[in-house]
Amino acid sequence: TQLLEQSPQFLSIQEGENLTVYCNSSSVFSSLQWYRQEPGEGPVLLVTVVTGGEVKKLKRLTFQFGDARKDSSLHITAAQPGDTGLYLCAGNAGNNRKLIWGLGTSLAVNP
Amino acid sequence: NAGVMQNPRHLVRRRGQEARLRCSPMKGHSHVYWYRQLPEEGLKFMVYLQKENIIDESGMPKERFSAEFPKEGPSILRIQQVVRGDSAAYFCASSPRTGSLSGANVLTFGAGSRLTVL
């Protein structure tokens, strides 16, 4: 069974701090996606990473896909209260259109 | 250029009643997915449908739950004889027939339907 484990499960930090959250698996994924979900809303896609070792930047967010395509990280620089939300990673295993989802990291950024 | 539309946003039912949740996929999308989410938890896959076909219902409870995506109209998630444990947020997502340029299956989510069973 393919699993994606996200850590930490909960994270509460002060505005301006940096943080990294992780998405790990023992399985290889052809691609991996990161979503952010705000309270009362559906998840919204942030980024898709496809190539092992790939790094993508989205303003203050930096996403990295592991060389072996088994893990990924999300680093946020100078976190802001607007970054608060549930960060979910989801992996695509080859031709299977069904995504494998992690349980998410719940981030709270306090002003 | 509407996204994925779900209704109702909030639904209250008494035990034993039926709940019907509707989802209109994004324009041009032919694949629909239903997920369930409890507070402080991640998404739990329920079912994946294309027009008139159920592709994967491995996450759907065997009893009381059904889903359809007819040729015309929205996808429907139907819960019969609801129980308190059915209270949750139900999210619908859609994707196009083919993957993105990278080959990844990227989903667009609706805002969810929150079911409360009294």
pLDDT tens for A15-72 read: 999 999 999 999 899 889 999 999 889 999 999 999 999 999 999 999 999 999 999 9
Minimal Cβ distance to B111: which of A42, A86, A98: A42
A48 and B104 in contact by Cβ < 8 A? Answer: yes
Which chain B residues are Cβ-neighbours of A48 within 8 angstroms? 100, 102, 104, 106
Residue A98 at interface with chain B, using a CB cutoff of 8 Å = yes
Which of A52-66, B25-39, B104-118 has the highest average model confidence (pLDDT)?
Answer: A52-66
Answer yes or no: are the C-beta atoms of B92 and B6 closer than 8 Å.
yes
**CA–CA distance, B118 with B114 (Å, rounded to integer):** 13
pLDDT at position B25 over 80: yes
Which chain B residues are Cβ-neighbours of A103 within 8 angstroms? 41-42
Which chain A residues are Cβ-neighbours of B40 within 8 angstroms? 106
Answer yes or no: are the C-beta atoms of A102 and A9 closer than 8 Å.
no
The Cα of B90 is separated from the nearest Cα of chain A by a number of Å equal to 10
A98 and B56 in contact by Cβ < 8 A? Answer: yes
- A95 pLDDT band (50/70/90 cuts)? low
Task: Nearest chain A residue to B99 by CA: give it.
Answer: A97
| Tens-digit pLDDT profile for residues B43-96 | 889 999 998 899 999 999 999 999 999 988 999 999 999 999 999 999 999 988
**CA distance readout (Å), A76 to A64, A73, B111:** 12, 10, 25
Minimal Cβ distance to B110: which of A42, A45, A50: A42
User: What was the pLDDT predicted at A39?
Assistant: 87
B85 phi and psi angles, rounded to 5 deg: -70, -10
3-state secondary structure of B114: strand
- B101 pLDDT band (50/70/90 cuts)? low
3-state per-residue secondary structure call for B36-77: EECCCCCEEEEEEEECCEEEECCCCCCCCEEEECCCCCCEEE
pLDDT at position B99 over 60: no
